Structure 1
Amino acid sequence: MSVTKDVAALAQPVIEGLNMDLIDTEYIKEGSKWVLRLYIDKDGGVGLDDCQLVSEALNDLLDGADIIKTPYTFEVSSPGLDRPLKTDKDFQRYKGDMVEVHLYAPINGSKLYTGTLHDRKDGMITIVCEEKEITFAEKDIAKINRAIIWN
Protein backbone atom coordinates (compact mmCIF):
# COMPACT_ATOMS: atom_id res chain seq x y z
CA MET A 1 0.00 0.00 0.00
CA SER A 2 1.01 3.63 -0.33
CA VAL A 3 1.50 6.10 2.50
CA THR A 4 -1.71 7.95 1.63
CA LYS A 5 -3.79 4.75 1.53
CA ASP A 6 -2.31 3.48 4.80
CA VAL A 7 -2.92 6.81 6.52
CA ALA A 8 -6.47 7.02 5.12
CA ALA A 9 -7.25 3.50 6.36
CA LEU A 10 -6.04 4.46 9.84
CA ALA A 11 -7.63 7.92 9.93
CA GLN A 12 -11.03 7.32 8.34
CA PRO A 13 -12.70 5.47 11.25
CA VAL A 14 -11.45 8.07 13.73
CA ILE A 15 -12.70 10.96 11.58
CA GLU A 16 -16.06 9.27 11.00
CA GLY A 17 -16.31 8.75 14.77
CA LEU A 18 -16.13 12.54 15.07
CA ASN A 19 -19.05 12.86 12.59
CA MET A 20 -16.84 14.15 9.80
CA ASP A 21 -15.66 12.78 6.47
CA LEU A 22 -12.14 12.22 5.19
CA ILE A 23 -12.15 13.82 1.74
CA ASP A 24 -8.56 13.38 0.63
CA THR A 25 -5.08 12.52 1.88
CA GLU A 26 -1.85 14.03 0.52
CA TYR A 27 1.74 13.17 1.31
CA ILE A 28 3.84 15.63 -0.66
CA LYS A 29 7.19 17.34 -0.58
CA GLU A 30 6.96 21.11 -0.23
CA GLY A 31 10.40 22.64 -0.56
CA SER A 32 12.71 20.53 1.58
CA LYS A 33 9.96 19.27 3.91
CA TRP A 34 7.43 16.45 3.67
CA VAL A 35 3.82 17.29 4.50
CA LEU A 36 1.01 14.89 5.38
CA ARG A 37 -2.25 16.74 4.80
CA LEU A 38 -5.74 15.42 5.47
CA TYR A 39 -8.79 17.19 4.07
CA ILE A 40 -11.97 16.82 6.12
CA ASP A 41 -15.56 17.97 5.70
CA LYS A 42 -18.94 17.69 7.38
CA ASP A 43 -22.46 18.93 6.84
CA GLY A 44 -22.35 22.69 7.34
CA GLY A 45 -18.60 22.82 6.65
CA VAL A 46 -15.58 22.54 8.93
CA GLY A 47 -13.87 25.19 10.97
CA LEU A 48 -10.57 25.57 12.76
CA ASP A 49 -11.88 23.79 15.87
CA ASP A 50 -12.82 20.75 13.76
CA CYS A 51 -9.36 20.63 12.19
CA GLN A 52 -7.74 20.87 15.62
CA LEU A 53 -9.98 18.11 17.00
CA VAL A 54 -9.03 15.73 14.18
CA SER A 55 -5.35 16.65 14.47
CA GLU A 56 -5.33 15.90 18.20
CA ALA A 57 -7.25 12.65 17.71
CA LEU A 58 -4.81 11.37 15.08
CA ASN A 59 -1.42 12.75 16.08
CA ASP A 60 -0.39 10.02 18.56
CA LEU A 61 -2.13 7.33 16.51
CA LEU A 62 -0.10 8.25 13.41
CA ASP A 63 3.14 8.35 15.41
CA GLY A 64 2.38 4.95 16.94
CA ALA A 65 1.51 3.36 13.60
CA ASP A 66 4.92 4.40 12.23
CA ILE A 67 3.62 4.53 8.65
CA ILE A 68 5.93 7.40 7.71
CA LYS A 69 9.60 6.84 8.49
CA THR A 70 10.93 10.34 7.76
CA PRO A 71 10.15 13.60 9.59
CA TYR A 72 7.02 15.34 8.29
CA THR A 73 4.58 18.10 9.11
CA PHE A 74 1.01 16.98 9.83
CA GLU A 75 -1.84 19.26 8.75
CA VAL A 76 -5.62 18.92 8.80
CA SER A 77 -7.52 21.25 6.50
CA SER A 78 -10.87 22.11 5.02
CA PRO A 79 -11.01 21.11 1.36
CA GLY A 80 -11.95 24.66 0.38
CA LEU A 81 -15.05 26.17 -1.15
CA ASP A 82 -14.20 25.24 -4.74
CA ARG A 83 -12.89 21.74 -4.12
CA PRO A 84 -13.59 18.93 -6.57
CA LEU A 85 -16.55 16.68 -5.80
CA LYS A 86 -15.46 13.05 -5.69
CA THR A 87 -17.60 10.85 -3.49
CA ASP A 88 -21.29 9.93 -3.46
CA LYS A 89 -21.54 11.82 -0.18
CA ASP A 90 -20.07 14.94 -1.86
CA PHE A 91 -22.72 14.81 -4.56
CA GLN A 92 -25.50 14.30 -2.01
CA ARG A 93 -24.18 17.07 0.25
CA TYR A 94 -23.92 19.65 -2.55
CA LYS A 95 -27.02 18.75 -4.56
CA GLY A 96 -28.74 22.04 -5.34
CA ASP A 97 -25.48 24.03 -5.17
CA MET A 98 -23.79 25.76 -8.10
CA VAL A 99 -21.04 23.67 -9.68
CA GLU A 100 -18.56 23.95 -12.52
CA VAL A 101 -18.23 20.95 -14.82
CA HIS A 102 -14.85 20.81 -16.61
CA LEU A 103 -14.83 18.43 -19.58
CA TYR A 104 -11.93 16.65 -21.26
CA ALA A 105 -13.25 17.59 -24.69
CA PRO A 106 -15.73 20.26 -25.81
CA ILE A 107 -19.42 19.48 -26.07
CA ASN A 108 -21.35 21.98 -28.19
CA GLY A 109 -18.19 24.09 -28.35
CA SER A 110 -17.56 24.36 -24.60
CA LYS A 111 -15.38 22.52 -22.08
CA LEU A 112 -16.84 24.37 -19.07
CA TYR A 113 -20.43 24.40 -17.87
CA THR A 114 -21.77 26.10 -14.74
CA GLY A 115 -25.12 25.22 -13.24
CA THR A 116 -27.00 23.80 -10.28
CA LEU A 117 -26.12 20.21 -9.37
CA HIS A 118 -29.31 18.25 -9.94
CA ASP A 119 -28.48 14.53 -9.94
CA ARG A 120 -25.83 11.84 -10.10
CA LYS A 121 -26.75 8.28 -11.00
CA ASP A 122 -25.61 5.44 -13.21
CA GLY A 123 -22.39 7.22 -14.19
CA MET A 124 -24.20 10.39 -15.26
CA ILE A 125 -24.17 13.90 -13.77
CA THR A 126 -27.06 16.29 -14.43
CA ILE A 127 -26.92 20.04 -13.85
CA VAL A 128 -29.50 22.74 -14.51
CA CYS A 129 -28.01 25.53 -16.60
CA GLU A 130 -30.16 28.48 -17.70
CA GLU A 131 -33.32 26.49 -16.88
CA LYS A 132 -32.23 23.53 -19.04
CA GLU A 133 -31.08 20.16 -17.77
CA ILE A 134 -27.72 19.07 -19.17
CA THR A 135 -26.44 15.56 -18.53
CA PHE A 136 -22.79 14.50 -18.80
CA ALA A 137 -21.20 11.06 -18.63
CA GLU A 138 -18.79 10.97 -15.68
CA LYS A 139 -16.10 9.55 -17.97
CA ASP A 140 -16.20 12.82 -19.96
CA ILE A 141 -15.72 15.00 -16.87
CA ALA A 142 -12.17 16.03 -15.98
CA LYS A 143 -13.31 17.73 -12.78
CA ILE A 144 -16.50 18.93 -11.15
CA ASN A 145 -16.25 21.43 -8.34
CA ARG A 146 -18.40 23.82 -6.38
CA ALA A 147 -18.65 27.19 -8.09
CA ILE A 148 -17.85 30.35 -6.19
CA ILE A 149 -20.39 32.99 -7.09
CA TRP A 150 -19.52 36.56 -6.11
CA ASN A 151 -22.49 38.90 -5.77
Structure 2
Amino acid sequence: MSTAKIKTVVEEAVRPFLDSNGFELVDVEYVKEGSNFFLRVFVDKEGGIDIDECGRISEFLSEKLDENDPIKDAYFLEVSSPGAERPLKKTQDVEKAVGKHVYVTTYEPIDKSKEFEGKLISFDGEVMAIEIGKKTHLIPYAKVASARLAIVF
Protein backbone atom coordinates (compact mmCIF):
# COMPACT_ATOMS: atom_id res chain seq x y z
CA MET A 1 0.00 0.00 0.00
CA SER A 2 1.34 3.45 -0.88
CA THR A 3 2.29 5.96 1.79
CA ALA A 4 -0.50 8.30 0.63
CA LYS A 5 -3.06 5.49 0.95
CA ILE A 6 -1.79 4.56 4.43
CA LYS A 7 -2.13 8.19 5.52
CA THR A 8 -5.71 8.29 4.20
CA VAL A 9 -6.66 5.02 5.93
CA VAL A 10 -5.19 6.24 9.24
CA GLU A 11 -6.93 9.62 8.97
CA GLU A 12 -10.28 7.93 8.27
CA ALA A 13 -9.77 5.54 11.20
CA VAL A 14 -8.85 8.16 13.79
CA ARG A 15 -10.81 11.25 12.73
CA PRO A 16 -14.22 10.30 14.29
CA PHE A 17 -12.54 9.65 17.66
CA LEU A 18 -10.58 12.90 17.49
CA ASP A 19 -13.58 14.97 16.41
CA SER A 20 -15.82 13.57 19.16
CA ASN A 21 -13.18 14.29 21.82
CA GLY A 22 -12.19 17.81 20.77
CA PHE A 23 -8.82 16.94 19.19
CA GLU A 24 -7.40 18.17 15.90
CA LEU A 25 -5.47 15.94 13.51
CA VAL A 26 -2.40 17.94 12.51
CA ASP A 27 -0.51 15.42 10.39
CA VAL A 28 0.15 11.74 9.69
CA GLU A 29 3.55 10.43 8.61
CA TYR A 30 4.52 6.93 7.54
CA VAL A 31 8.28 6.75 7.16
CA LYS A 32 11.11 4.26 7.11
CA GLU A 33 14.08 5.08 9.31
CA GLY A 34 16.87 2.55 9.10
CA SER A 35 15.22 -0.86 9.02
CA ASN A 36 12.10 0.28 10.93
CA PHE A 37 8.81 1.81 9.78
CA PHE A 38 7.14 4.52 11.89
CA LEU A 39 3.53 5.62 11.77
CA ARG A 40 3.44 9.04 13.42
CA VAL A 41 0.20 10.80 14.21
CA PHE A 42 0.40 14.42 15.35
CA VAL A 43 -2.59 15.64 17.33
CA ASP A 44 -3.41 18.87 19.13
CA LYS A 45 -6.25 20.66 20.89
CA GLU A 46 -6.97 24.11 22.26
CA GLY A 47 -4.62 24.60 25.20
CA GLY A 48 -2.34 21.74 24.14
CA ILE A 49 -2.42 17.98 24.47
CA ASP A 50 -0.92 15.91 27.28
CA ILE A 51 0.73 12.50 27.38
CA ASP A 52 -2.36 10.73 28.80
CA GLU A 53 -4.46 12.00 25.91
CA CYS A 54 -1.81 10.82 23.44
CA GLY A 55 -1.96 7.42 25.13
CA ARG A 56 -5.77 7.24 24.78
CA ILE A 57 -5.57 8.15 21.11
CA SER A 58 -2.77 5.63 20.54
CA GLU A 59 -4.78 2.82 22.18
CA PHE A 60 -7.87 3.66 20.13
CA LEU A 61 -5.96 3.88 16.86
CA SER A 62 -3.97 0.71 17.53
CA GLU A 63 -7.19 -1.27 18.13
CA LYS A 64 -8.86 0.28 15.08
CA LEU A 65 -5.92 -0.54 12.79
CA ASP A 66 -5.67 -4.08 14.19
CA GLU A 67 -9.30 -4.71 13.16
CA ASN A 68 -8.55 -4.72 9.42
CA ASP A 69 -4.72 -4.60 9.45
CA PRO A 70 -4.29 -2.22 6.48
CA ILE A 71 -0.51 -1.85 6.94
CA LYS A 72 1.33 -5.04 6.05
CA ASP A 73 4.78 -4.05 7.31
CA ALA A 74 5.59 -4.10 11.02
CA TYR A 75 5.73 -0.52 12.33
CA PHE A 76 5.98 1.56 15.47
CA LEU A 77 2.95 3.75 16.23
CA GLU A 78 3.71 7.15 17.77
CA VAL A 79 1.03 9.65 18.77
CA SER A 80 2.27 13.05 19.89
CA SER A 81 1.82 16.79 19.94
CA PRO A 82 3.15 18.65 16.89
CA GLY A 83 5.32 20.63 19.30
CA ALA A 84 6.05 24.32 19.64
CA GLU A 85 7.24 24.55 16.04
CA ARG A 86 4.00 23.12 14.71
CA PRO A 87 3.90 22.52 10.95
CA LEU A 88 1.39 24.59 8.99
CA LYS A 89 0.13 21.93 6.57
CA LYS A 90 -3.28 23.27 5.59
CA THR A 91 -4.58 26.71 4.67
CA GLN A 92 -6.61 26.69 7.91
CA ASP A 93 -3.35 26.23 9.86
CA VAL A 94 -1.84 29.25 8.09
CA GLU A 95 -4.96 31.33 8.77
CA LYS A 96 -4.72 30.52 12.51
CA ALA A 97 -1.04 31.51 12.48
CA VAL A 98 -1.64 35.12 11.40
CA GLY A 99 0.03 37.36 13.96
CA LYS A 100 2.55 34.68 14.95
CA HIS A 101 6.21 34.12 14.12
CA VAL A 102 6.67 31.64 11.25
CA TYR A 103 9.42 29.99 9.23
CA VAL A 104 8.65 29.39 5.54
CA THR A 105 10.65 27.80 2.73
CA THR A 106 9.74 28.13 -0.93
CA TYR A 107 10.29 25.99 -4.02
CA GLU A 108 11.94 28.88 -5.82
CA PRO A 109 13.51 32.18 -4.77
CA ILE A 110 11.24 35.11 -3.93
CA ASP A 111 12.97 38.42 -3.30
CA LYS A 112 16.24 36.49 -3.85
CA SER A 113 15.56 34.08 -0.97
CA LYS A 114 13.98 30.67 -0.40
CA GLU A 115 13.79 31.02 3.42
CA PHE A 116 11.69 33.49 5.37
CA GLU A 117 11.36 33.86 9.12
CA GLY A 118 9.25 36.61 10.57
CA LYS A 119 5.77 37.65 11.63
CA LEU A 120 2.92 36.41 9.45
CA ILE A 121 0.91 39.60 9.13
CA SER A 122 -1.76 38.36 6.71
CA PHE A 123 -2.95 35.44 4.61
CA ASP A 124 -5.79 35.71 2.10
CA GLY A 125 -5.78 32.07 1.03
CA GLU A 126 -3.37 32.73 -1.83
CA VAL A 127 -0.61 35.01 -0.55
CA MET A 128 1.25 35.03 2.77
CA ALA A 129 2.59 38.41 3.91
CA ILE A 130 5.58 37.98 6.20
CA GLU A 131 7.16 40.93 7.94
CA ILE A 132 10.90 40.59 8.45
CA GLY A 133 12.38 43.64 10.09
CA LYS A 134 10.84 46.61 8.31
CA LYS A 135 10.21 44.77 5.02
CA THR A 136 7.12 42.78 4.06
CA HIS A 137 7.57 39.80 1.73
CA LEU A 138 4.59 38.57 -0.28
CA ILE A 139 4.83 34.80 -0.76
CA PRO A 140 2.39 32.99 -3.05
CA TYR A 141 1.02 30.02 -1.12
CA ALA A 142 1.42 27.81 -4.20
CA LYS A 143 5.20 28.34 -3.97
CA VAL A 144 5.48 27.34 -0.28
CA ALA A 145 7.48 24.14 0.19
CA SER A 146 7.04 24.08 3.97
CA ALA A 147 5.77 26.32 6.73
CA ARG A 148 5.82 26.06 10.51
CA LEU A 149 5.50 28.15 13.61
CA ALA A 150 8.86 29.38 14.85
CA ILE A 151 10.07 30.04 18.35
CA VAL A 152 11.35 33.56 18.96
CA PHE A 153 14.23 33.86 21.43
State whether residues 43 and 93 of structure 1, in contact with CA within 8 Å, keep that contact through their aligned partners in structure 2: no
Q: Residue in 1 aligned with 2:7? A: 4
SS at match of 1:2: helix
Look up the match of 1:105. Answer: 108
Output the amino acid matched with 1:93. Answer: K
Corresponding position of 2:24? 21
In structure 2, what is the Cα distance between the partners aligned to 1:67 and 1:87?
A: 26
- RMSD of aligned residue pairs (Cα, Å): 2.0
Looking at structure 2, the residues matched to 26 and 63 of structure 1 have their Cα atoms a distance apart, in angstroms, of 18
For structure 2, list consecutive stretches of 5 or more residues without a partner in the other structure: none
Q: Is the CA contact (8 Å cut-off) linking 2:111 and 2:137 kept in structure 1?
A: no
The alpha-carbon deviation at position 78 of structure 1 amounts to: 1.6
Mapping for residues 2-151 of structure 1, pairs under 5 Å: 2-150=5-153
Percentage identity across aligned positions?
Answer: 35
Question: Structure 1 CA distance, aligned partners of 2:71 and 2:110?
Answer: 44
- Contact map agreement 2:125 2:141 (CA 8 A) in 1: no
Shift of residue 112 of structure 1? 1.9
Structure 1 length normalisation: TM-score?
0.85
C-alpha offsets along residues 11-39 of structure 1, whole Å, 9 cap, x if unaligned? 11211222111111122223333221111
Q: Which runs of 5+ in 1 are unaligned?
A: none
| Residue-pair matches, total | 150
> TM-score, length-normalised on structure 2?
0.84
Deviation, 1:128, is: 2.7
